[in-house]
Amino acid sequence: MGPILFIILAALEIVLAVRACRSEKEKKQWRKERLIVRTAQVILVIVTMLVVGQKWRFVPILGLLAILLIVAGAKALIMRNKDDGMKKKSSAIVSCVLNIVLIALLLIPAFVFTGYNGLPVSGNHKIAETSAILIDRSRHDIFEQDRSFREVPVHIYYPADGSAKGCPLVVFSHGAFGYYQSNTSTYMELASNGYVVVALDHPHHAFFTKDTDGNTVIVDKDFMNTALSLGDITDAQEEYKIYTQWMELRVADMSFVLDELKAAVQSSTLDKSWFISGIDSDAISSVLGMIDISKIGVMGHSLGGATAVAIGRERSDVSAVIDIDGTMLSEYTGVIDNELEVRDEPYDVPVLEFVNWNSYSLLPEYRKEGKIYPNDVLIRNAAEGFSATLRDTRHMDFTDLPLLSPTLANLLGDMGSGDRSTEESMMIVNSLVLKFFNCYLKGEGTFTAQDIY
């Protein structure tokens, strides 16, 4: 919709300039025509916002056009009785070019982001959302210089009707430079079927998030640089140290969130760890009354998937684990002869992993070189382990990002989006996620998965 809107708005600017250039008009007449054009442009943007998703994309251009309309209206009113000569062609052309450039710049969000407004859900529950920030007073945030406590934002998706009881709890961890909304369509699918889903942010690992002071916390530069340069590291000991540090931070975040949720459900109260805005307080209390803490699942994408797997090994209260296209870094236990050593032990929790087609195609060569892939070992050792690969997919096809912004996804190259429709991929992922959790958290039926979809 962004390109179409740009063409129409730019065309109106050109029409205004052409009419001024064909014959030098009186400024009074030109101001009237400009007022008509500005009014038409504002109406056009407002109508667009009413009919498309992601309305925020058009706020900048609406702001510009509203200002131009006010200026045009004020000048037309003030100068209505004055005869102030002819409108110069050069002035009209310069105004046209500058306005088109401004329109293009302010429509960048509409060019980059689509009107994506979620995928269809299969459940009958309407969905509500609320949020809070949990403050872990047992840990100082290693990224903060003031030794402030670690803060973990949580975003909760749940059945909105209030009648749902005994809902399984699913906690989600995003990937590196990710964001809690990375798999919103998955949360919605689960919540519509009677789950409470808690998507947490890992501050400084997340692309951005908010703290209790309302400040925006962006991804840590050193973390980003390290993650982007992993392929250049030849020292396995250094690599293992990096993985260990990442896992320690993230596992502590997720485990803390689980502990706080369980404590709040059991006591029906919120302790001082909970930082909640006034409008979310009642919603949080309502959600806690829905959760059955005997039915807990964890999942994550990429580095978040590795986090979920680690939680499943460490905690006895987790009944199901899903790793969405993540290397199971927590299964590395050390280094021998400059090769990462992989844990070869039973994994007692049912686990489902998703694999992108690009990685799947590279794994045979990796194995041929004698290297051990941790996911292979864990799935083999799991009491109930499943692996599902989706053809013609890449890493971000297991998130909503390509649906929200194909442009950003394509900038990620091999990590971005494959040839397959991301909508189709996510519908498959969401369906399997629901069936897996229905089996192992709700006790509904048996679960099976194809090797390749």
Interatomic CA distance for residues 318 and 314, integer angstroms: 9
Q: What is the pLDDT, as a whole number, of residue 51? A: 86
Tell me how far apart the alpha carbons of residues 167 and 293 are, in angstroms, rounded to a whole number: 8
**Which pLDDT score, from 0 to 100, does residue 81 have?**
61
Residue ranges in the chain whose pLDDT is less than 50: none
CA angle 264, 270, 273 (to 5 degrees): 100
Instruction: Please report, for the chain, the start and end positions of each structural domain, with discontinuous segments joined by +.
Output: 2-112, 127-441
- pLDDT of amino acid 133: 97
Secondary element (H or E) of residue 129: strand 127-140
One DSSP character per residue, 142-162 reads TT-TT-PEEEEEEEEEEETTS
> Which two three-digit tokens encode residue 84?
């102030």
Query: Residue 86 forms beta bridges with which residues?
Result: 26
**What pLDDT does residue 78 have?**
81
Q: Which residues of 177-199 are buried (b: 16+ CB within 10 A; e: fewer)?
A: bbbbbbbbbbbbbbbbbbbbbbb
Q: What are phi and psi of 333, to 5 degrees?
A: -115, -5
**What pLDDT is recorded for position 313?**
97
Rounded distance between C-alpha atoms, residue 246 and residue 303, angstroms: 9
d(C-alpha 413, C-alpha 434), whole Å: 30
CA neighbor of 98 nearest in space, from 58, 60, 64: 64
96: burial class by Cβ within 10 Å (0-12, 13-18, 19+)?
buried
Identify the pLDDT of residue 147: 85
pTM of the model: 0.89
Contact 68, 38 (CB under 8 A): yes
In this prediction, residue 24 carries a pLDDT of: 56
* CATH number assigned to the domain covering 127-441: 3.40.50.1820
